Structure formats: structure tokens, C-alpha cells
Amino acid sequence: MSDGQDGLTFETVLEAPPEKVWRALTIPEYRDLWLKKPDDVQLQVVAANANSLLTFRWLERNEESLVTIELYPAEDGGTSFRLTHAPVRIPAAANSNEPAATVMRAA
């Protein structure tokens, strides 16, 4: 895993071929089993390229981010799996001007 200002990246190898991983990602009955999406998150598929690339918008209250999953065939019939989660819109903290922050620290 790595992270920075561009978001988070997770890489692993799955013991199943890309075609099967693709079904687990895209068939709702399977997807719900592993994704266990929080109730206040809405998903919108942005791009889908069978067995290799899935991108969806992740909308949570006033935040927006983008999840990209890339699949590559790996040795032994497995799949190299790479998930990137990048923020698109994160509101700054409210009232982040200095006097307020000072008051809060003093309190």
C-alpha cells in the first residue's frame, strides 16, 4: 500500500483468473458480499473495460472520490489486483481561520 496527496493505492495478487475476479467485482450479488458499502455511499460506474479496468465514483455526503481497480493476468492463472482510491473533492474544515482555532484550543 502507498499513499500521498494523490490518494491510496493497494496492490495484491488474487488466486483467481481476471475473468472470475471481474465477475466478483461487477455482479451485484457478489459485489455486495465483499464491498459491504457504507449506507451513505453512492456508487456510479465511470468506466468499465471487461476483465481489466473498473472505475467508479464514490460519493459520500459532500465528499467525492474515485476508485479505480485494475486487473492484470498473473503467473499461475491468478490476477494482479491494483486498487486506487483518489479524492476528488474534500471540503476544507469549517471555520479554519485562526481566531476560532485559538479559541478552541484555549477551551
Partner 1 sequence: MNEAELFKVLADPTRRAILERLSGEEMTATDLREGFAISQPAMSQHLAVLRGAGLVAERREGRYAHYRIAPDGFAPLHQWLARYRDFWPSRIDSLRDVLKEMDQ
List interacting residues with partner 1 (CB under 8 A). Answer: 1, 3, 5, 7-8, 10, 12, 14-16, 20-21, 23-25, 30, 33-36, 63, 65, 81, 83, 85, 87-93, 96-98, 101
Residue written as cell 485559538?
102
Cβ-count burial of 18 within 10 angstroms (0-12 exposed, 13-18 middle, 19+ buried)?
buried
Query: Closest separation between CB of residue 47 and partner 1, Å?
Result: 19
CA distance 1 to 11: 6
Query: Closest separation between CB of residue 102 and partner 1, Å?
Result: 10
Q: Among residues 47 and 101, whose Cβ is nearest to partner 1?
A: 101
Tell me the backbone φ, ψ of residue 85, rounded to 5 degrees: -120, 110
Q: Among residues 20 and 57, whose Cβ is nearest to partner 1?
A: 20
